[in-house]
Structure 1
Amino acid sequence: MEIDQILDNIYPLSIESKNLIKESITETAFPKGHILFKADKTERSIYFIKKGIARAYAYSDDNQITFWFGREGNPIVSMQSYVNNKKGYEDVELLEDCELYELKTEQLQKLFLEDIQIANWGRKFSELELIKSEERLISLQFDTATERYLALLKKYPSIVQRVQLAHIASYLGITQVSLSRIRAKIR
């Protein structure tokens, strides 16, 4: 997905403001399995996925608990680092070879001070990330595992072809055996 479309999906900007952000963005690529973010580290960049898929996870005891998937067009951000300039709690692993757009947080913060449209874009970016977190929390509290699985398939139709079932089960908060049962029932 091209950066213009990604930026516009967050909040439409004038050509001038969009070009200011784009001047601060670089393209980069990493292989499948690369750990983009490490827990207990303050992340200095946010990324947008041009091509590929990623997951965020945290440890509970010795288990990795997946709580987020990102695909083309999605941001990869440690909100703790982005908002508070503090160490994040998540690891982010690339599940495919990924092409990414990188934006240094420090540069973005400078742009917020210089351009009100970019500041509004940043506000909208944060609001959208908050809504995603809220929707996820509500889903975990009120939806059945089957409902969560169907919602995941609706949001990410190709996820079962692109992501290991163990990660999907973890994301849904169920075992792989339970996921297999749900998938068999749906077919």
Structure 2
Amino acid sequence: MKELTEFILQFGKLNNQQIELIGRKAEAIEIQKDEYFSQAGKVPQQVGFIVEGIIRGFYYDNKGEQITRCFIRENSLVADYVNLEANTSSMEYIQACTNCKLLVFSKQNWDELSLTIAGWDNIKNKMVQLCMFQKSRKGPVISQDATSRYLEFMENYPRLVNQIPLAYIASYLGVTQQSLSRIRKNIS
């Protein structure tokens, strides 16, 4: 809960009673590697905060291949927020890349915080904007060559390289796994 509290307090001030209420509305869960936080075709029902682990957002292209759109790290919100708020089916999957520990709010509990805590909507909006920015960041610039994209990925996500399957990284970079293996071999 400490990590969530520190995260929230970046966006506004809350008193101890409000922080305790937020803690009571959150449920600690664990999801194993490859399990889904939310899935395409289903209406998202929760907002999460990643305490430990890495999650990715991906979709299937028209050839049926997985395209990784983003990686979400510890100390970040994770949600398909647009579809959660609109109560509509998601178009993408949010999946654990590693075993993860999260604090999760049901949609009902998340909404109740707005009714109970003065100023929560302002804090929530700032957190959600950051969450959506992180999720919407497109993969590396395709006009760069593949080696430059990989080097930029390593700079932006130094710890991920050894924590998640290379298939996810290759998908994110827009290259085949074989190309990624060659790139890694050439730069080491």
| TM-score using structure 1 length | 0.85
Number of residue pairs matched by the alignment: 185
Q: Report the Cα distance in structure 2 between the residues aligned to 1:179 and 1:93, rounded to whole angstroms.
A: 22
Deviation at residue 63 of structure 1 after TM alignment: 1.1
* CA distance 1:130–1:140, shift in 2 (3 Å): farther
Q: Report the Cα distance in structure 1 between the residues aligned to 2:142 and 2:119, rounded to whole angstroms.
A: 36
| TM-score using structure 2 length | 0.84
Deviation at residue 64 of structure 1 after TM alignment: 1.2
Cα RMSD after superposing both structures: 2.3
Matches within 5 A, 1:8-87: 8-9=9-10, 11-15=11-15, 16-60=17-61, 61-87=63-89
* CA distance 1:128–1:22, shift in 2 (3 Å): same
Unaligned runs of 5+ in 1: none
Q: Which amino acid aligns with 1:107?
A: N
Q: Report the Cα distance in structure 1 between the residues aligned to 2:115 and 2:147, rounded to whole angstroms.
A: 45
Partner of 2:152: 151
Q: Report the Cα distance in structure 1 between the residues aligned to 2:80 and 2:21, rounded to whole angstroms.
A: 23
Q: Which amino acid aligns with 2:87?
A: N
Q: Which amino acid aligns with 1:17?
A: Q
Bigger shift: residues 121-130 or 111-120: 111-120
Deviation at residue 98 of structure 1 after TM alignment: 1.6
Q: Which amino acid aligns with 1:164?
A: P
Structure 1 or 2: larger helix share?
1
Alignment counterpart, residue 92 of structure 2, candidates 90, 93, 112: 90
Q: Report the Cα distance in structure 1 between the residues aligned to 2:100 and 2:113, rounded to whole angstroms.
A: 27
Deviation at residue 5 of structure 1 after TM alignment: 2.6
Q: Report the Cα distance in structure 2 between the residues aligned to 1:143 and 1:116, rounded to whole angstroms.
A: 47
Deviation at residue 124 of structure 1 after TM alignment: 0.2
Deviation at residue 100 of structure 1 after TM alignment: 1.1
Alignment counterpart, residue 102 of structure 1, candidates 92, 98, 104: 104
Deviation at residue 148 of structure 1 after TM alignment: 3.4
Q: Report the Cα distance in structure 1 between the residues aligned to 2:73 and 2:29, rounded to whole angstroms.
A: 16
Partner of 1:6: 7
Note if 1:162 corresponds to 2:168: no
Partner of 1:176: 177
Q: Which amino acid aligns with 2:107?
A: T
